[in-house]
Chain A
Amino acid sequence: MIRNPFTYEPYPPEIVGATRSLMIGPTSGREVLKIKVEEALRELIDMDVSVNKDDWRLNLIHSEIKRLYDEEKRRSCISDEELKAYVEKYFLFESIFEKESHTSGDPMPD
């Protein structure tokens, strides 16, 4: 899907006036999460940033979301608003603190 919509879309969304959307749910991998996090960052800080797929902050968000579903606390998708909150928590606030004590974190724009 991300590399080429032809793989899983029977026809382009524009034909019927629709738009494509990526959702975060129990089966989502880090590839989708990365794109959604980049989208959220773009909205939050108004800058294009690219996030490494192995970024430790991305992993933390991924495991936190996975835990929600594993514990069956969650039945619906993670909304864009919720994802923004995760991004704020791990990328904006936590990374300021981490900079001082955690030296192995990837630099944010890569």
Chain B
Amino acid sequence: MCVRFMSYEDLPKIRLPNGNDVFISDSTLRDGAQMPGIVITLRDRLRIYEYLHRIGIEKLEVFLFSSTDKRAAREMLDRGCNPEVTGWSRANTNDIDLVLEMDGIRETGILMSISDPHILIKMGLPGREAAREMYLNALQYAVDHGLRTRAHLEDITRSDLEGFVYPLVREIIDIDRNCTIRICDTLGYGLPFEGLGDPYSIPSMVRRLREMGVNNIETHIHDDFGFGTVNSIAGYWYGANWSNLTFLGIGERAGNAELEKVLLFLKTRVEGFEKYDLSCLTEFAQFMEEHVGIRVPRNKAVVGRNIFSHESGIHTAA
């Protein structure tokens, strides 16, 4: 039996082992906007929202701290369509109140820094117990006020999974069964395969959370080691139903897993992702270059100028 792949149609599509109920949330306007040297105007935020809408992205998250943040959120919410606008809060009632004051937002993420360096040095807390109490109180407050929640487990790939993270997750899902547990690989230490010791394997983490009965799992992967998109896809592979991405991978330091790469993979290689329309990606990248001041490298996957430019005699003549 001879197998011959002579056209795109001949190439077998991949199937996600846990089915196609997976979604994308965008953080271009939140984590992306935290990129040094980037200020996105109100008008441009709305343009970005439009592009995400055209692509079919299900959800995005925004800050609500400045007046521009609030005006942008208001205008997006008033359009009343996808992506759903959600909030982003630190684990305190003031931040959650900002979300509650923005009529129409039904979900917020709550920052729960989970590694010891983040708890002790960044937050300046006396220890894990203080952090635990603070996070669960904030979660309870959000739930009591009718919000859907996400727990952003920051710096999880440098944390004590068995000793602190998983016991905390149990308490989180006791408070909110449907809380989305966000695996925040904040420094990009995660790897996309199993058989590693804790805390580096994204697949092991996802599998373990599923076994604990977590319904919604989301990856949020930084690209410091260049594994952003592959870890996001590994997340889907092992049972995460969301990945949180930024367009062009903009974000702090090396940035985040790229939205356009995950989209291209799902759309062209995986069965059943007709729901995403990628035909505006090239225009979206040009918009980011012209208006937001991001320079797109010529050889950047999906949107670089070279992707469909051919020069060499050997390749072009074929």
Contacts and interface: CB of A to CB of B under 8 A. Distances in A.
Interface in A29-70: 29, 31-32
Interface stretch (A1-9, A86-94, A97-105): A1-9
Nearest to B268: A11
Interface string B125-137: 0000000000000
B307 interface: yes
Nearest to A19: B308
Contact of B313 (A11, A18, A32): A32
Nearest to A35: B316
Contacts of A25: 311-312
B303 to A, nearest CB: 7
Contact of B317 (A10, A20, A29): A29
A6 B311 contact: no
A8 B317 contact: no
A108 interface: no
A94 to B, nearest CB: 25
Contact of A28 (B260, B282, B283, B311): B311
Contacts of B267: 15
A2 B317 contact: yes
Given A15-B267, A15-B268, A16-B282, A8 B311 contact: no
B309 A23 contact: yes
B318 interface: yes
A109 interface: no
A20 B43 CA distance: 31
B52 to A, nearest CB: 15
Contact of B308 (A13, A29, A32): A13
Contacts of A24: 311
B318 A7 contact: yes
Contact of A20 (B279, B310, B314): B310
Contacts of A7: 315, 318
Contacts of A4: 318
A27 interface: yes
Contact of B309 (A10, A17, A22): A22
Nearest to A23: B311
A28 B281 contact: no
Interface class of chain B by DSSP: helix
Contacts of B281: 16-18
Contact of A1 (B260, B278, B283, B318): B318
A13 B307 CA distance: 9
B308 A31 contact: no
Nearest to B263: A16
B66 interface: no
The contact size tier of chain A is: 20 to 34
Contact of A32 (B7, B303, B307, B316): B316
B45 to A, nearest CB: 22
Contacts of B2: none
Nearest to A16: B281
A77 interface: yes
A105 to B, nearest CB: 24
A12 interface: yes
B311 A32 contact: yes
A16 B301 CA distance: 11
Contact of B316 (A6, A19, A29): A29
A7 B264 CA distance: 19
A6 B6 CA distance: 8
Interface in B1-40: 6-8
Contacts of A6: 6-8
Given A6-B7, A16-B303, A23 B313 contact: no
Given A4-B318, A7-B318, A11-B264, A17 B280 contact: yes
Interface of A: 1-4, 6-25, 27-29, 31-32, 77
Interface of B: 6-8, 260, 264, 267-268, 278-283, 302-303, 307-318
Question: 4 closest A-B pairs (Cβ-Cβ)?
Answer: A29-B313, A27-B312, A7-B318, A17-B282
